[in-house]
Amino acid sequence: MQWTHEQSPIIQSEAPKLLIQAGAGSGKTTTLVGYAQHHSRLRILYLCYNKSVEIAARGRFPRNVVNKTAHGLAYAVYGTQFSHKQTNNLRLTDIARALDTQDWELVRDVLTTLNNYMASADDLIERCHFPRFGDRPMLTSAQERYLNQALVAAMSIWKRMTDLQDTAVQITHDGYLKLYQLSKPDLSQRFDCVLLDEGQDVNPVIADIVRIQRIRKVAVGDRHQQIYRFRGAADALNASWMAGAEKHYLTQSFRFGPAVAHVANIILSYKGETRKLQGLGEKTLVKKALPVGLPHRTYIHRTVIGVIENALCLVTEKPKIYWVGGIDSYSVRDLEDLFYFSRQQRDLVQNKKLLRDYRDYGQYVEIAEVSQDSEMIRSIKIINMYPDLPQRILALRSCTVDQELDATITLTSAHKSKGLEWDFVGLFDDFTSDPLSPDIDPGRRDDELNLLYVAVTRAMKILAINSLVLSIMERYVDALAPGARQARG
């Protein structure tokens, strides 16, 4: 393997702490494989971002590397103990039943507090985990009482979740991961080095597991691809425990050519980034729309509802559709059940839990409005939009294929597209939040710019930009010096 001048010093590094900022498509995994091969004497844990990364890594890394997700590590210790009472997610109705309350605002706050706690590095449930006004310095007496009530309720749910005998309250995968982190695991008996993948987007609970290890640490990622901050993810690349690390940069992208790199650099310029991404891959065209007649094309969307809306439009073409993550990860089955529930066709509802949790559709709508649950509100919107929803979904399922190689169209959200790449990519026009708006919160501004950066850097041959990216590029040109605008003209 002929390593670049950026990769070679990383691969040969003997630093006890190594920090790698890797741009999109810059050969991050290839570089880590080179590092593992060069340090064949080390027992290395490659802490993968998700299960799909773990599976892909198995065939690439040498034998001195163990590929695991943090949940995989935790499952071996705690997950197996709780296998009889596991669930993917706690629902609002689960919390309400456990607390024996119909106060849906309280229920929502308790659930959010629990999720915040499980994603944190903290030992105890505290005020900082409360979602709405837990960080305010001054509260009214009524707010103080409500806050304490919510914290006590969250603690009681957590106690029941982690009680092996209490099967009435199930534990989530994040729950047994939290138990693993609280146990302060020592990995030094099994490993000499840990590679932390996607370090910019790990939950504090995972970062803390890495932080406490007394072995060599290698953190790799791209701060501009931090897109899960809304889930509590933090940038471990800038964490205090990585202070003093030997720093390296991978800026040469082999995925795409200069045109896509230019679009990406424009987006990143609004975050103050001055280190340019270099497009050294195949020449990539940037257009306003994908050409007709392509053998395959991929559409990237901002929202799940955007994916479904686009699919419902495309289904008339009778394409072969591949859904990244599977069609059911886009809440299609739940939508069908909710549709029948809204039409009082209870016998057609497959998930009977829906019938147990809600008296009728009116109560579902009421809870959605009070709790402002985004998933519930989105589902209601789709049902109102498509009165023939079951027929449309049936048509979508008949067009769906299991293997992407068999597809003519791939559909994905921007979040699910992370780490993937395609020849022909179009951005759907549901990126409605303008990150350059003067009224936008700085944190959300960076989140939206990061998501756009991830989306545009998935394309290898043709990128079709949407109206928002086009607008950002036009404003960038308008901000150039008059001489530069004249030269462009």
Going by the annotation, the residues of the binding site for ATP are: 22-29
What CA–CA distance (Å, rounded) separates 72 from 35? Answer: 23
What CA–CA distance (Å, rounded) separates 446 from 275? Answer: 17
- Long-range pairs, 43-47, Cβ under 8 A, ≥24: 43/190, 43/191, 43/192, 43/193, 44/191, 44/192, 44/193, 44/194, 44/195, 45/187, 45/190, 45/191, 45/193, 45/194, 45/195, 46/195, 46/197, 47/73, 47/194, 47/195, 47/196, 47/197, 47/206, 47/210
- 42-57 burial, b for 16+ CB within 10 Å, e for fewer? bbbbbbbbeeebbeeb
Taking CA atoms, 407 is separated from 98, 422, 452, in Å, by 45, 12, 25
DSSP assignments along 415-433, one per residue = HHHTT--EEEEEE-TT---
What CA–CA distance (Å, rounded) separates 207 from 239? Answer: 9
Amino acid making up residue 362: G
Binding-site sequence positions: 22-29
**Residue 133: which of 151, 152, 107 has the closest Cα?**
151
**Residue 274: which of 264, 265, 284, 285 has the closest Cα?**
265
